[in-house]
C-alpha cells in the first residue's frame, strides 16, 4: 500500500481556487474583466456555491476584487502596487538567502548548481522560455531551502501577484546579461555558505528586477510590448 499518494483533492473549492488562480496568472482571465460566473460554472461543471467560495479566497489574496452586488473582477496590478511588492519580495528573498545558506545540505546545493548550469546553457542558447523556467526553479529551490513554511507561503502569494507582470514583460538583453552575472555571484556566495552575502545579493537582484520591470511598463501598468 502506498500511503504517500492518498487523498488527492478533497474539496471542490480548493480545486477551483487552484484552477482560477492559474487562469489569472496565465492571463487567460484578464485584468479588469469581470469574472463570468455562469460560464465558469458550466465549463468546470460545478454549481455557483463552490465557485463563489473560491472567488472569496482569491479576493483575500488580492487576485480578484469583489464589488458588492456587482460581482467579481480580475484585479489590475497597478504600477504602484508593483513598486510596493518588489521591496517586500526582495526582503523575503534576502531572508530566504540567509536561511538557505544555513539550512541547505550539500546535496541541496548541488541540485541548485545543476539548475544554475541549465540556466547558463539557456542563456547561451538565448532560449528565453528555458531560462525563465530554470530561473524560477532556482529561486523556488532557495525559498524551499530556507525551510520556513511561513516565508514560503508569503513569498508564494507575493510572487503570484506579480507573476503575470513577469510573464508579460520582455527581458531586455542588457538586463538579461546583468541578471546572469548576478546569479553567478549568488552561486559563489551559496557555495561558500556566505549567508549575509547571499541574502544581500538576492535582495539587490530583486530590486534590479523591479527597476527593469518599471522601465518596461507604461504608466498604466500595462506592458509597452507584449511577449512574443
Partner DNA sequence: TGACTGAATTATGAATTCATAATTACGTTT
Partner DNA sequence: AAACGTAATTATGAATTCATAATTCAGTCA
**Which helix (H) or strand (E) element contains residue 60?**
helix 48-61
Q: Which of 150, 174, 219, 228 binds its own copies (CB under 8 A)?
A: 150
Could you say whether residue 154 binds DNA (CB under 7 A)? no
Q: Which of 35, 94, 135, 183 binds its own copies (CB under 8 A)?
A: 94
Q: Which stretch binds its own copies (CB under 8 A): 37-45, 83-91, 108-116, 163-171?
A: 83-91
Could you say whether residue 81 binds its own copies (CB under 8 A)? yes
Is residue 203 within 8 Å of residue 93, measured between CB atoms? Answer: yes
Is residue 185 within 8 Å of residue 201, measured between CB atoms? Answer: yes
Is residue 201 within 8 Å of residue 186, measured between CB atoms? Answer: yes
Judged by DSSP in three states, 153 sits in helix
Residues 26-65, interacting with DNA (CB under 7 A): 34, 37-38, 46-50, 52
Q: Report the distance separating Cα 65 and Cα 159, nearest Å.
A: 18
Count of residues binding its own copies (CB under 8 A)?
37
Q: What is the DSSP string of 197-212?
A: HHHHHHHHHHHHHHHH
Q: Which of 41, 46, 65, 88 binds its own copies (CB under 8 A)?
A: 88
First to last CA, the chain: 47
Return residues touching its own copies (CB under 8 A): 7, 10-11, 13, 17, 49, 52-54, 56-57, 59-62, 66, 68-69, 81, 84-85, 87-88, 91-92, 94-95, 99, 148-151, 153-154, 157-158, 161
**Which residues are near DNA by CB under 7 A?**
11-13, 34, 37-38, 46-50, 52, 66-72
Amino acid at each position: 500500500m502506498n500511503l504517500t499518494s492518498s487523498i488527492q483533492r478533497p474539496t471542490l473549492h480548493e480545486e477551483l481556487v487552484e484552477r482560477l488562480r492559474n487562469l489569472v496568472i496565465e492571463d487567460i482571465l484578464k485584468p479588469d474583466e469581470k469574472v463570468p460566473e455562469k460560464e465558469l460554472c458550466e465549463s468546470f461543471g460545478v454549481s455557483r456555491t463552490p465557485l463563489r467560495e473560491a472567488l472569496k479566497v482569491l479576493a483575500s489574496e488580492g487576485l480578484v476584487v469583489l464589488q458588492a452586488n456587482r460581482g467579481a473582477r480580475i484585479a489590475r496590478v497597478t504600477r504602484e502596487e508593483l513598486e510596493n511588492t518588489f521591496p517586500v519580495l526582495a526582503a523575503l528573498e534576502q531572508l530566504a538567502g540567509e536561511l538557505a545558506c544555513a539550512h541547505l545540505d550539500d546535496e541541496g546545493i548541488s541540485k541548485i548548481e545543476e539548475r544554475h548550469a541549465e540556466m547558463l546553457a539557456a542563456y547561451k542558447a538565448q532560449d528565453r522560455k528555458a531560462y525563465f523556467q530554470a530561473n524560477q526553479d532556482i529561486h523556488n529551490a532557495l525559498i524551499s531551502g530556507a525551510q520556513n513554511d511561513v516565508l514560503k507561503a508569503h513569498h508564494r502569494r507575493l510572487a503570484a501577484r506579480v507573476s503575470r507582470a513577469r510573464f508579460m514583460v520582455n527581458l531586455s538583453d542588457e538586463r538579461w546579461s546583468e541578471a546572469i552575472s548576478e546569479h553567478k555571484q549568488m552561486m559563489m556566495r551559496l557555495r561558500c555558505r556566505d549567508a549575509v552575502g547571499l541574502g544581500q545579493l538576492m535582495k539587490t537582484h530583486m530590486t534590479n528586477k523591479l527597476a527593469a520591470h518599471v522601465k518596461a511598463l507604461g504608466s498604466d501598468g500595462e506592458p509597452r510590448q507584449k511577449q512574443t
